[in-house]
Amino acid sequence: MILRAFFVLLGCVLATAHAAPATYDRGENFSTRPDNWTYFHPNQFYGYQAPTHKGGSGSAGGLFRPKTYFNYYADTHLNGTLTRGTKISASGRIHLQRISAVPPYTNTTYICHFSRGTNGYINTIGIALTGYNDSNVVATAILEFSDGSAFIGNSVGLPVATDTPETQWTYTWDPAGGTQGFGALTVTIGGANGGTSTINLTKTSAGLDFALNSFGLFQPPFVAPNSNTYLEFNISRLAYTALLGNAPKLKVKGPHKINTSTAKVAIKGTTHTTLGNRVTTVRYRVVKNGNAGSYHKAKGTTNWNANVKVPTGGSRIEVQAIGDNGLTTTVSRNVQRTP
């Protein structure tokens, strides 16, 4: 009976050890409006901000006015749910531009991984920005679990002004970090004018968990908010933890065997990914007698094409699609070139 109990316990430990899914850092510079970022409420004054010049990066943000309802602009397609045992991070730039003086902004806006649980609690891990006076906000590390238990780090004061340059921010959740090894959230924000806010969990919080399926900006509901108060800011050049997802789908149009008498073969096709993932590159190479040539980049990604130089006799063209998550898919076409 003791031996059986041991193997049951061992099985649970191994299942837990392999439970954490693979993740990657997803980038977003808002050069175009991303389909995986969505609005929760149509009457909010913040969201996608287009680039101000061609080829530049855009941002997410705008005017944050407190509401009686939960609202967000966020990537809601992280390929699943992030839990306590997963290392989670995010980084980017922030530009704090304006804050109301009369009436003062005393509410809070979040830059976070988050989800709204079925029990009504907002699971949160990231940065809280709270109004302090007519020219400053306070940034704190914030962590709220699925049962509503919340933890707040020390405060970091940040200036708010149109001419204040944008600065860097980061946050990192280490499930085995902290002084006692039960988890730590570290927020660094504001560069030389900012500081670091931390949360170190203790044994009493070890059994708590969260379930996060989104990343971005959100406001919780406020009781009887004053709609004339506001905070204006933008975040840009983002990188944040998402689940790995799947390899891209790759299609090469045309026959599976290509017969030609010319030195170049025109090929084309399409790629498709899960919403939120992207194909960064489509490339190709020629393989003859087991010897593979160098890769060359095709034109385009979602719809791609290439003119491939092929040798006489039999060879093979290998086309590869590379996702932003590092996963690849390869499709081949046989070629027979007559002299």
The pLDDT tens digits for 37-89 are: 999 987 789 999 999 877 778 999 999 999 999 999 999 999 999 999 999 99
Q: Which CATH code fits 249-337?
A: 2.60.40.10
Residue 293 pLDDT more than 80? yes
Q: Give the pLDDT mean for 8-26.
A: 58
Fold agreement between 21-243 and 249-337: no
Percent of the chain with pLDDT over 70: 94
Give the C-alpha separation, 271 to 304, whole Å.
Answer: 8
Of 16-20, 166-170, 304-308, 335-339, which gets the smallest average pLDDT? 16-20
Give the C-alpha separation, 186 to 172, whole Å.
Answer: 5
Give the C-alpha separation, 129 to 137, whole Å.
Answer: 6
Percent of the chain with pLDDT over 90: 83
The pLDDT tens digits for 226-256 are: 989 999 999 999 999 999 999 999 999 999 9
Q: Tell me the two tokens of residue 100.
A: 């109301």
Closest CA to 243 of 125, 75, 98, 124: 75
Residue 259 pLDDT more than 70? yes
> For position 7, what pLDDT does the model report?
34
> For position 20, what pLDDT does the model report?
64
The pLDDT tens digits for 117-173 are: 767 789 999 999 999 999 999 999 999 999 999 999 999 999 999 888 899 999 999
Closest CA to 278 of 211, 327, 214: 327
Q: Give the pLDDT mean for 3-13.
A: 37
Instruction: Give me the residue spans of the domains in the chain.
Output: 21-243, 249-337
Fold of 21-243: Jelly Rolls (2.60.120)
Q: How confident is the model at residue 19 (pLDDT cuts 50, 70, 90)?
A: low
Give the C-alpha separation, 15 to 258, whole Å.
Answer: 48
Residue 11 pLDDT more than 80? no
Q: How confident is the model at residue 9 (pLDDT cuts 50, 70, 90)?
A: very low
